[in-house]
Amino acid sequence: MSENPLPKPPVTADGFEFVHYAERLRRAAAANPSLEVIKCEGEVRTWSEFLPRTNKVANMLAARGLGRNDKVAMLARSSVEYLEVFLGALQAGLCIVPLSGMASSEQLEIMIRDSGSRLVFASASTRELIEPFRGKVESVMEDGYVAFDFEGEGWTPYEEIIGDASDAPLYVDVQPEDGFNIIYSSGTTGVPKGIEQSQKMRSQHVLRFLALGINADAVTLVSTALYSNTTLVALLPTLALGGRIIVMPKFDVEKFLKIAEAEKVSHAMLVPVQYQRILAHPDFDKYDLSNFQLKLSTSAPLREGIKRDIITRWPGKMVEIYGLTEGGIGTALSCTDFPDKLASVGKAGEGVELRIISEAGQELPQGEIGEIVGRSDAMMTGYHGRKDLTDAMIWTAPDGKVFFKSGDMGRFDPDGFLFLLDRKKDMIISGGFNIYAADIEVELMQHDDVVDVAVIGIPSEEWGETPLALVVKSANSKATEEELKSWVNDRLGKTQRIAGVEFRDDLPRSTIGKVMKRELRVPYWEKAGRAI
């Protein structure tokens, strides 16, 4: 391996010694070149096989004139090739834009256009989402729609585009403030928010997961999509610290358990609905999961009963993480160490400062309920191209410190454990995905027969919660509840689709005209025996 010609990594103002992620991979590969670092559905790559392929991607991008902070979009099934492009682009100093196949074509076009992506990588499973706007986004290069596993007019084969590129390492003088990735929120109207995460922020994630126990001996089973921040916060540290990853392109409970046993899996990051399904499998207790050292949960609150079931039946430490993709806010609950605090999401993580504020922006004392705000050494650069939205998220303390608002309501107990309560912005978390009621309401209001609507989250055994639309229809309307449900679901991304429509004569409103959604939700949650 050639010597790194770049200067010593910079030390930031807060004393953090920055190491570019690509350099961490080179070090891991040099330490154990024969390690089978990646497995994915029968495909296996050692470091000596995998790293040269990422080098080819990096050199291909550089030959096209792309470099620091240029963008490439990824909309594809999880695969070895996906990781080659992701990590190769990072080596070249680019910023990755991982996109969800659950979004609609209209949403995806907005995201790619907004990000200014120069190339778009796709698989057969996502091709049809791109076809409606292929060739129409000005920033994408003429041959910039790249196909991993299919052929078609207007698509450049992946092997062709990297064909003659050098497989030697490419050294780029990446700085801590450079972009690492942009992760877009869901949204059906306007421009979805692009969360810009910096190289420094991702480097901090590596160090945090090192502290949690991920190291060169880790075998991490990845069963959530590669575009998800939930996936990346565990996958990226595992590779950077010299561990192995096993990728499941599609989650399946029985396959997960079989892989975990056969591969002696030690680490996994899962969302609550996955834990629920795994523990419910009739043969769960027959599998040997004794090699598990650490299981992590994030993206949505993990119910107390499931946490207790995990620590009772599943070997290894169990940690629930609460935080934002934007960063700043982060707690960790070691369920195994604090079985009497399972209703909480734990304490502030290392380097994290949390406070509770009132609607008026005043800090509240311990025990009082308010909005959770936080700051840390890992915070987003901002919302891409949206200073207005970035500014709106900031709360500045009297001492001048900058905090991010969570939009979540919560309180601290006397021991410093955080308890989550209602979501201030009526966000619905279904199967680990964030769903914004306002987006669905805007779509429904476009129907001629709808005069008023409120979308709320109701309990779901399968997804944790799911959106329900409460609709006031026009007096002469002949539309049925099922017709409206079908109509709006055809206009929404897959993760946003509603479970049903219920007609109401009117909706309860406050004196200032706001729909009182908490009042609407209460009957559904009380019926399920769950507090809201």
Mean pLDDT score of the chain, rounded to an integer? 91
* Burial bucket for residue 262 (CB in 10 Å: 0-12, 13-18, 19+): exposed
Q: What is the pLDDT of residue 309?
A: 95
Residue 73 class from Cβ within 10 Å (0-12 exposed, 13-18 middle, 19+ buried)?
buried
CA distances from 112 to 120, 128, 140, 387 (A): 8, 15, 9, 19
pLDDT tens column, 270-279: 988 799 889 9
Return the structure tokens found at 292. Answer: 């598990």
Residues sharing a CB contact under 8 Å with residue 160, sequence separation 6 or more, in sequence order: none
Lowest mean pLDDT among 43-52, 374-383, 385-394, 513-522: 513-522
Q: Rounded distance, CA 428 to CA 172, Å?
A: 41
Written in H, E and C, the secondary structure of 1-24 is CCCCCCCCCCECCCCCECCCHHHH
CB neighbours of 461 closer than 8 A, spacing ≥ 6? none
pLDDT at site 475: 87
Q: Provide the token pair at 326.
A: 């934007």
- Host H or E run for residue 378: none
CA triple 493-499-503, angle to 5 deg = 115
Mean pLDDT score, 218-237: 95
CA distance 17 to 3: 20
Round to whole Å and give the CA distance between 57 and 65. 13
**How many whole angstroms separate alpha carbon 136 and alpha carbon 393?**
33
SS3 392: helix
Contact 376, 351 (CB under 8 A): yes
- pLDDT range class, residue 511, cuts 50, 70, 90: very low
CA dihedral 273, 279, 281, 284 (to 10 degrees): 140
pLDDT of residue 394: 97
Q: Report the percentage of the chain scoring pLDDT > 70.
A: 93
Domains along the chain with CATH numbers: 21-35+42-197 (3.40.50.12780), 251-423 (3.40.50.12780), 428-527 (3.30.300.30)
CB neighbour burial string for 363-401, b if at least 16 within 10 angstroms, e if fewer = eeeeeeebbbbbbbbbbbbbbbbbeeebeebebeeeeee
pLDDT tens track for 331-377: 999 999 999 999 899 999 989 999 999 989 999 999 998 899 999 98
Give 299 or 381, the one with higher predicted confidence. 381
